[in-house]
Amino acid sequence: MAVLTHDVILDYIDRKIISIDPFDPKRVGPASIDLTLDNQFRVFKNLHETLDLHSETFDPDVFSEVKTVEKSILLQPGQTILGVTVEKVTLPPTLCGWIQGRSRFARIGLMVHISSSFIQPGVENKQVLELFNAGPMPINIFPGVSVCQILFEETVGNASYHGQYQHQDKP
């Protein structure tokens, strides 16, 4: 397995092996593409109930709500919200991806994924981000900021994701 580099990424996009929509070639780095934050966020309600994880499925609307922001959203220390990328990522069965934070934001305590950085082969959706403020001060987050990057890796064999989040476009 190998991580794709700048010229290979551009070639795969040109040959429509990878699709990033919308795509800005200026966002391609040495071995990744910067992705931007959309204006929709899933914010957790301040409930004083226990969330039981004994089931594979649960309704996120019970404990959270989707908010669309015009300007920004404030993330308090210790708070988690879900965001989503502007870009829709489509991968073939021969590639997987990894979402990574950008160091400039990590240095102030912003995490863009808590534990689900892996992007399955064959995916076709916007990427949901688990935004967590691990820093000591509130962070004002603005839609349109290049908050994370995606790395692409070749798989050994073919596989395709067909789970409940295929074609997801909201947090």
128 vs 149: CA distance, rounded Å: 12
- Which residue did the predictor score with more confidence, 35 or 168? 35
Per-residue confidence band for 156, with pLDDT thresholds at 50, 70 and 90: confident
Residue 154 designated active-site: no
Residue 90 Cα distances to 64, 80, 135, angstroms: 27, 26, 33
Residue range 6-44+64-154 forms a domain whose CATH class is mainly beta
- How many CB atoms are located within 10 Å of the residue 56 CB? 6
pTM of the model: 0.85
pLDDT at 171: 66
Helical ranges in the chain per DSSP H: 6-14, 103-106
Catalytic residue selected from 87, 130, 153, 154:
130
pLDDT at 55: 67
pLDDT at 37: 97
51 vs 103: CA distance, rounded Å: 33
pLDDT at 142: 97
